[in-house]
C-alpha cells in the first residue's frame, strides 16, 4: 500500500478511492475528467471496455478498450468486469483487475461511467466509492455543447438530448452534485472533494500504527 506524504513530510498509508463522475452527455464530464488527471498524479482513469464503434480521434486502450459483443460477453462470464451496463445502444463495462490493484496500492481511480454502473459499484464497494454528478447549467447550453462536438450525427444528438432529461433524474443518488457553469471552478470543486475524501478516517489505514507510535513518544 502506498503512502501519501503531506507538506509537513508526514507519511500516512491509505487505501485508494473510486471517484465516479457521471452526467448526461454534454454536461462537461469528460473535459473535467481530463483536466483532473492532468492536475493530479495520484489518480488514474479506469479504461472501460465497450462495444461502441471507435469515434474519430479515439485511441484503443486509451479512451476505451474497443471489443466486439462476443468478447464483452466473455468478460462478463469470466467475472472480469466490476460493473457493466447498456448505455444508449452499446455495452460498457469496467475491467476489475486494474481497479483492485490500484485501490490496494493506495492509488485513486477515476470513473467516467453512467448511473447504472455507479449503482453497481455502490452495491459492491460503498466504502471505496465517492460519486459526483455533473449537471449542465441549462438545456440551451447542453444543446450547444452537444452540437459543438460535431462528431455525432443529428439523429444521435437528438436522442442524447431526449435521454439527458431521463439521466438527470439520477442526481439524488450521488454523494455530490456540481452544476458545471464555469469549467475551471468545476474542476476545482472536484479537486476539493477529492482532497477531503482522501482524509476520511477509514481510508487512512496507517492511522492506528501512527497513533500507537505517538503514544509511545516516538
Of these, 51, 94, 131, 180, which contacts ligand 5GP (CB under 6 A)? 94
Q: Is 35 a residue that touches ligand 5GP (CB under 6 A)? A: no
DSSP state of 208: H
Distance in angstroms (rounded) separating the CA atoms of residues 165 and 151: 21
**Largest alpha-carbon pair distance within the chain?**
68
Q: Position of cell 469496467?
A: 94
Of these, 113, 122, 130, 157, which contacts ligand 5GP (CB under 6 A)? 113
The mark string for 69-88 relative to ligand 5GP (x by CB under 6 A, - otherwise) is --------------x-x-x-
Distance in angstroms (rounded) separating the CA atoms of residues 46 and 76: 17
51 touches 209 (CB < 8 A): no
HSE, side-chain direction, 13 A CA sphere, residue 76: 16
Q: Is 133 a residue that touches ligand 5GP (CB under 6 A)? A: no
- Residues numbered 172 to 211 that lie near ligand 5GP (CB under 6 A) are none
Q: Which stretch binds ligand 5GP (CB under 6 A): 33-41, 92-100, 129-137, 138-146?
A: 92-100
Of these, 40, 116, 145, 204, which contacts ligand 5GP (CB under 6 A)? 116
What one-character-per-residue DSSP string does 102-147 give?
A: HHHTT-EEEEE--HHHHHHHHHHHGGGEEEEEEE-S-HHHHHHHHH
Q: Is 36 a residue that touches ligand 5GP (CB under 6 A)? A: no
Of these, 51, 75, 109, 114, which contacts ligand 5GP (CB under 6 A)? 114
Residues in contact with ligand 5GP by CB under 6 A are: 25, 48, 52, 83, 85, 87, 92-94, 112-114, 116-117
Amino acid at each position: 500500500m502506498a503512502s501519501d506524504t503531506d507538506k509537513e513530510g508526514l507519511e500516512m498509508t491509505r487505501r485508494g478511492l473510486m471517484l465516479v463522475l457521471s452526467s448526461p452527455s454534454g454536461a462537461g464530464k469528460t473535459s473535467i475528467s481530463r483536466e483532473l488527471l492532468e492536475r493530479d498524479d495520484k489518480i488514474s482513469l479506469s479504461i472501460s471496455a465497450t462495444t461502441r464503434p471507435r469515434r474519430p480521434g479515439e485511441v484503443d486502450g486509451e479512451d476505451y478498450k474497443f471489443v466486439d459483443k462476443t468478447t464483452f460477453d466473455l468478460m462478463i462470464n469470466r467475472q472480469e468486469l466490476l460493473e457493466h451496463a447498456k448505455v444508449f445502444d452499446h455495452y460498457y463495462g469496467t475491467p476489475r483487475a486494474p481497479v483492485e490493484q490500484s485501490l490496494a496500492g493506495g492509488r485513486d481511480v477515476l470513473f467516467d461511467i453512467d448511473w447504472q454502473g455507479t449503482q453497481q459499484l455502490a452495491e459492491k464497494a460503498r466504502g471505496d466509492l465517492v460519486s459526483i454528478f455533473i449537471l449542465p447549467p441549462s438545456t440551451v447550453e447542453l444543446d450547444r455543447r452537444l452540437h459543438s462536438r460535431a462528431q455525432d450525427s443529428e439523429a444521435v444528438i437528438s436522442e442524447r438530448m431526449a435521454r439527458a432529461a431521463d439521466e438527470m433524474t439520477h442526481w439524488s443518488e450521488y454523494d455530490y452534485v456540481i452544476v458545471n457553469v464555469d469549467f475551471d471552478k468545476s474542476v476545482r470543486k472536484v479537486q476539493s472533494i477529492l482532497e477531503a475524501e482522501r482524509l476520511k478516517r477509514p481510508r487512512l489505514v496507517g492511522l492506528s500504527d501512527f497513533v500507537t507510535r505517538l503514544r509511545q513518544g516516538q
